[in-house]
Amino acid sequence: MKKKFLVLFLLLIVLTNSVPDMSFANEKGKVILININRTSIDDLKNIQYLNDKINKTGYIGLMNVKGSNGTSDIKSYASIGAGTRAYINPSDIDFETIDEDNKEIYFRRTGINPEYINNLNINKTNSSNQRGKFGAFLGAIGYEFNNNNLSLAVLGNSDTDEEKHREIALIGMDQNGQIKSGNIDDINVKDGAMPFGIRTDYDKLKEETRKYYGENDLLIVELGDTYRLDLYKENLNEASYEKMKKEIYSNISDYLKEVFEITNKNDRVYITSPYPKKQDYVNGYRLSPIVVFDKEEKGLLTSGTTRRKGVLSNLDISADIFEYFGIKSEVILGKSIQKILYDKNIEFLLKDYDKIVSNMKIRIPVLYTYAAFEMIMWMIMLVAILFRDKIPKNIFKILCAILKFTIAIPFVLLIAPLFNYSTKGSIITCIVGLLIIVYFLVYKLVKDDLGKLILLSALVALGVLIDAATGQNMIKSSLLGYDPIIGARYYGIGNEYMGVLIGSLVFSVVGFLEKNIINKKIASVILLLSIVILGHPKMGANVGGTITSVFSFLYLIMRLYDIKIDLKKIIFIGIAVVGVVSTMAVIDIYFIKSQSHLAGAIKKILSGGPLIILQIITRKIEMNMKLIGVSIWSRVLILGLLVVVVLFQKPVGIFKKVCDRYIYLAKGWTSIIVASIVGFLVNDSGVVAAATSIAYVIIPVLVLLTKELDISK
């Protein structure tokens, strides 16, 4: 009986594993990637055939176009082809169709037999890319297609009358800069009515498209005219520009109609703009449109890279193409594109884009104002304490009220996106109004200053933890969160709120202990659960924050139980850090497979070796050094440390009296300082995390000092 059951069980496994191959082997078609560079969503809607098409079907999204060390057309093209942020300059490439002269040049430079299209500067291209920060593998698409016996071709260029612009080949080339099939030379015609006197020969492009579509699995097409138009725009008046644009869009519309007539229902078509128009970029609209036509469905695009509805990265295109053909690649960082059914997709995207741009434009002014205001208040209060005999007590009451007011700012910046603002004016009005309401409610609910500080801190910590655990919908749009245009982070808890969370959580927990609202066991459970939320790949997904919180929270727990901190305890904490981070990595890679930053880094290390670790460490150090020099948060951190040093010295002994009076608070403050140090060291923008956390030491200390000195009653 057991043998029969075992045979039946094994048979079921074999049949189950066989079903996908039997069911789906013939369902895959071909992929066409059409680049209409330097266009916006509105431009795509002005292309008649495309507008009619996307009103009925198609998934649309906005694409982050960053490369390594900044943005440019060529970096975005290279990043699409590499599936990782790449570094490259226009002078680093020279793609040519093979002839008697250049095939000898290519072989002389590489020692490799040339293909039909070759990058004569491939060695220079790769050498330049080594200056990038992400270890991009240039030519990933071509490389993986060769390895999987798939074929691709590249058509078109964006050449002007003086320069060659064949960046499109960066998408299809392999690691040797080679493309086996296509036409990047003989595809344009002279036309005096078009930018630079050149336009794409659409009759020939249609013919070549039919030919290479039939012969290849992937066809990559550059239309060229929209790029030339944007470059030439400064030479045109409005009337001539509109006339040229209308003619170009008409030609593109006619071409796209031809493309969709030759494709079938199993094909996938991408319409992309690797880079935005120059004026859009200047105006802050720095994401580019992408449309994917896959089956007769309509909606929005997202990806595991961003986890944000309607937003993805240029890195995700290669990953999505690989997913379509069943290729598992270890050389890219991008994630496959996900499709969300959404009927009013364009309306949603345009509104969300306006909100993103408004946030970006006002984010730095608001945060600089917040940080500067905080520093000014610290300095004023410190000076007032030092010269307290000459300052009226009423002044201290006002200063304490303002300091407590600043504690509420991170909470208000967190919840403000719930009110769905979309303009700069509405953002400011919302923030100011919420600050007044929140502070007024806390003022009415709690009478003593310490209680107000604890409640405001608890609101911040609870808000961040709940939002992190439920999809980060508020942090994603918060001015203290992260910006999809900058693209440093798209999901989880960013370093700004990571520092805020650790500082506010520690202070509120020890504050509740001081007030006898909770006991040590409950405090320990709260801290440990918060580590899980901060580190979980589907929640906080902050590796540096996880390391910081484990170190800081375990240190605090030991202090709460009066355990002596020695070398053995520090080693234990270090082992705990490794254990927690490793656990989160295992959960991500083998269970939930969310492909977070941690999983991506580990996979990159496994494929690239120790050099990748060095690149990660170097990138973090470089970012911190850069921020120390230019970020206002570095001033906040430095000033905070100076305030602590001064208060240790003057007034003599008063700081010790406060610590003796509030034993739990003192232990919490040391834990926050530990978190600031660790956070600074292990995060690529650690100065931000350290600065936002140390505020939960400075503000309570300054307020409580006035009580101890009896100058604010």
Token pair of 403, please? 């300091």
Greatest Cα-to-Cα distance within the chain, rounded to the nearest angstrom: 95
| pLDDT at residue 657, as a whole number | 86
Examine the domain organization and report whether 316 and 205 are in the same domain: yes
- What is the extent of the structural domain holding 461? 353-708
| pLDDT at residue 425, as a whole number | 80
Question: What is the Cα–Cα distance from 47 to 51, expressed in whole angstroms?
Answer: 6
Q: At residue 322, what is the residue type? A: F
Contacts of residue 351, defined as CB under 8 A and 6 or more positions apart, other chains included, come to 422
Boundary (domain end) residue, out of 343, 366, 390: 343
C-alpha dist (Å) from residue 227 to 159, 222, 693 = 9, 10, 46
C-alpha dist (Å) from residue 106 to 116, 171, 176 = 11, 19, 10
Question: What is the Cα–Cα distance from 604 to 84, expressed in whole angstroms?
Answer: 10
Give buried/exposed letters for 228-241 (b at 16+ CB in 10 A, else e): bbbbbbeeeeeeeb
Question: What is the Cα–Cα distance from 293 to 58, expressed in whole angstroms?
Answer: 5
| pLDDT at residue 207, as a whole number | 96
472 SS3 class? coil
Examine the domain organization and report whether 460 and 482 are in the same domain: yes
| pLDDT at residue 666, as a whole number | 93
Query: Any idea which residue has 């609910």 for tokens?
Result: 445
Examine the domain organization and report whether 211 and 247 are in the same domain: yes
- For the four alpha carbons of 475, 481, 487 and 488, in that order, the dihedral sign comes to negative
Examine the domain organization and report whether 407 and 274 are in the same domain: no
Cβ contact 107:93 at 8 Å: no
Q: What is the pLDDT of residues 5-30, one digit of tens each?
A: 333 333 433 333 343 333 333 367 99
Examine the domain organization and report whether 329 and 468 are in the same domain: no
Examine the domain organization and report whether 338 and 369 are in the same domain: no
Q: What is the pLDDT of residues 504-538, one digit of tens each?
A: 999 999 999 999 999 999 999 999 999 999 988 88
Total tally of structural domains belonging to the chain: 2
Element housing 533 (H / E): helix 520-535
Give buried/exposed letters for 183-215 (b at 16+ CB in 10 A, else e): bbeebbeeeeebbbebbbbbeebbebbeebbee
Bridge partner residues of 269 (DSSP) = 32, 293
Examine the domain organization and report whether 327 and 409 are in the same domain: no
Boundary (domain end) residue, out of 310, 343, 376: 343
* % of the chain exceeding 90 in pLDDT: 62
Q: What is the pLDDT of residues 376-421, one digit of tens each?
A: 999 999 888 888 888 888 888 888 889 988 998 999 999 988 887 7
Is residue 521 situated within a structural domain?
yes
Boundary (domain end) residue, out of 292, 323, 343: 343
Task: Tell me the DSSP string of 504-528.
Answer: HHHHHHHHHHHTTSS-HHHHHHHHH
Examine the domain organization and report whether 529 and 592 are in the same domain: yes
10-residue mean pLDDT series, the chain (713 residues): 37 37 54 97 96 95 94 96 95 94 94 96 95 91 97 97 95 97 95 96 97 97 97 96 97 96 94 97 96 92 94 96 94 93 94 92 90 92 86 85 90 89 80 89 88 94 94 90 89 91 96 94 95 90 88 94 90 89 80 63 57 59 61 84 81 79 93 91 81 92 83 57
Bridge partner residues of 34 (DSSP) = 221, 271
pTM: 0.86
- For the four alpha carbons of 374, 375, 381 and 384, in that order, the dihedral sign comes to negative
Examine the domain organization and report whether 488 and 425 are in the same domain: yes
Q: At residue 524, what is the residue type? A: S
Q: At residue 528, what is the residue type? A: L
Examine the domain organization and report whether 307 and 372 are in the same domain: no
Examine the domain organization and report whether 328 and 397 are in the same domain: no
Cβ contact 151:145 at 8 Å: yes
Examine the domain organization and report whether 333 and 358 are in the same domain: no
Is residue 313 situated within a structural domain?
yes
